[in-house]
């Protein structure tokens, strides 16, 4: 009986090792494909954060996972995995939309291989993160801007910011008029993309580091605020340099947007770090009270 238990334990450890290695390999594969097809540093950073969170969640509960798949689930998972690997060898730049859903198929195949259909529910947190990674950001941006006047709000706040800093600015709807020229604020120039990104990262943080209700609300508000006001500042800069064609093209283009996206992520990371420190202090105080 003791020998059988040892054999079973070794088999379980081996299966955990193989599946863990496969999970890391699939994450690296997706990151390589993302960089190869899109070459977008912002998307690469976000993908790394998401995969790191997914692997962290799996590692944290590795000893509690039910690794018992059936023949049909293993077969189906293997077929999906092989198809994704074959497709990844022939992925072209214009198939970036397909690249968005690859993580879902890779995760589904790994879940079926590890635990079968019945065991997929134990990975619900990981699947939420995968679905967030697969969401079409451009579609979300268009829908949000259709239903919320973010262009007008951005123009209003950018106008106030420029006026407060001493610039002679006049606003006409979503148009900012200065002595050196005028800019019109359309939805791609707002902070919608940053807001969506930071809300995704908020969910990542809350799944990996469960917190109380108030920090959750603060984190959501911080994400929305940082994303929105990064767009406001960017619009203000574009309004100031509108007469300089080269400078305007820089801040209006991908490079300028990437700078503000990176700054937004860093600021949001500092907020997360502060909340983690506060949570650690509260837990330490609670333990001290219990010991008294």
Q: What is the pTM of this model?
A: 0.81
19-33, 195-209, 240-254: least confident range: 19-33
Q: Are residues 15 and 105 in the same domain?
A: yes
Residues 217-253 as b/e (b if ≥16 CB within 10 A, e otherwise) read eebeebbbbbbbbbbbebbbbbbbbbeeeeebebbbe
DSSP letter string, the chain: -HHHHHHHHHHHHHHHHHHHHHHHHHHHHHHHHHHHHT--HHHHHHHHHHHHHHHHHHHHTTTT------HHHHHHHHHHHHHHHHHHTT--GGGHHHHHHHHHHHHHHHHHHHHTTTTGGGGHHHHHHHHHHHS-HHHHHHHHHHHS-HHHHHHHHHHHHHHHTT---EEETTEEEETTEEEE--GGGSSHHHHHHHHHHHHHHHHHS---HHHHHHHHHHHHHHHHHHHHHHHHHHHHTTT-HHHHHHHHSHHHHHHHHHHHHHHHHHHHHHHHHHHHHHHHHHHHHHH-
The alpha carbon torsion through 41, 43, 44, 47 (nearest 10 deg) reads 160
- pLDDT tens across 273-282, in order? 888 888 777 7
Write phi, then psi, for 210 (nearest 5 degrees). -60, 135
Q: What is the mean pLDDT of the chain?
A: 84
**How much is the pLDDT for 227?**
93
Q: Of 77, 106, 134, which residue is a domain's last?
A: 134
Residues 170 and 273 in one domain: yes
- pLDDT, tens only, 130-170: 998 888 887 888 888 888 888 999 999 999 999 999 999 99
Between 254 and 238, the more confident residue is 238
What's the mean pLDDT in 183-193? Answer: 87
Lowest mean pLDDT segment, chosen from 68-77, 192-201, 279-288: 279-288
Same domain, 254 and 287: yes
Q: What is the mean pLDDT of residues 178-205?
A: 89
Whether residue 286 sits in one domain with residue 144: yes
Instruction: Supply the pLDDT for residue 9.
Output: 37
Same domain? 184 vs 128 = no
Q: Give the domain-ending residue among 89, 118, 134.
A: 134
**Alpha carbons 193 and 202: distance in angstroms, whole number:** 14
Structure tokens belonging to residue 169? 């600015």
Q: What's the pLDDT at 292? A: 58
Give me the number of domains the chain comprises. 2
Task: Specify whether 167 is located in the same domain as 110.
Answer: no
The tens digit of pLDDT for each residue in 59-112 reads: 888 888 888 888 898 899 889 988 888 887 776 655 667 778 888 888 999 888
Ramachandran angles phi, psi of 175, nearest 5°: -105, 130
In tens, the pLDDT along 1-21 reads 444 444 433 444 456 777 778
103 & 169 share domain: no
Both 199 and 279 in one domain: the answer is yes
**Banded pLDDT at 286 (limits 50, 70, 90):** low
* Domain residue limits at 43: 2-134
Judgement on whether residues 68 and 206 belong to the same structural domain of the protein: no
Same-domain pairing of 123 and 175:
no
156 with 284, same domain: the answer is: yes
- As beta bridge partners, residue 188 has none
For residues 105 and 163, membership in a common domain is answered with no
Predicted pLDDT at 229: 94
* Res 96: pLDDT: 66
């Amino acid at each position: 009986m003791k020998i059988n238990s040892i054999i079973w334990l070794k088999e379980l450890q081996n299966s955990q090792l193989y599946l863990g290695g496969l999970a890391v390999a699939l994450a690296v594969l997706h990151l390589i494909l993302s960089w190869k097809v899109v070459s977008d540093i912002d998307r690469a950073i976000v993908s790394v954060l998401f995969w790191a969170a997914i692997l962290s969640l799996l590692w944290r509960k590795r000893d509690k996972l039910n690794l018992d798949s059936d023949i049909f689930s293993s077969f189906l998972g293997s077929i999906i995995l092989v198809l994704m690997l074959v497709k990844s060898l022939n992925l072209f730049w214009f198939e970036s939309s397909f690249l968005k859903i690859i993580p879902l198929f890779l995760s589904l195949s790994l879940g079926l291989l590890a635990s079968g259909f019945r065991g997929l529910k134990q990975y619900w947190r990981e699947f939420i993160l995968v679905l967030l990674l697969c969401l079409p950001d451009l579609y979300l941006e268009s829908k949000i801007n259709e239903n919320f006047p973010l262009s007008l709000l951005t123009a209003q706040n950018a106008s106030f910011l420029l006026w407060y800093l001493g610039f002679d600015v006049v606003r006409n709807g979503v148009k900012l008029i200065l002595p050196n020229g005028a800019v019109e604020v359309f939805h791609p120039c707002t902070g919608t993309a940053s807001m969506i990104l930071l809300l995704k990262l908020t969910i990542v943080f809350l799944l990996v580091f469960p917190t109380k209700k108030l920090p959750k609300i603060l984190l959501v508000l911080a994400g929305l605020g940082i994303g929105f006001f990064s767009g406001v500042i960017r619009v203000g800069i574009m309004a100031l340099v509108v007469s300089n064609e080269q400078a305007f093209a820089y801040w209006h283009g991908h490079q300028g947007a990437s700078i503000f996206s990176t700054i937004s992520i860093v600021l949001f990371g500092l907020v997360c770090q502060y909340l983690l420190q506060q949570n650690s202090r509260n837990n330490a105080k609670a333990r001290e009270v219990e010991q008294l």
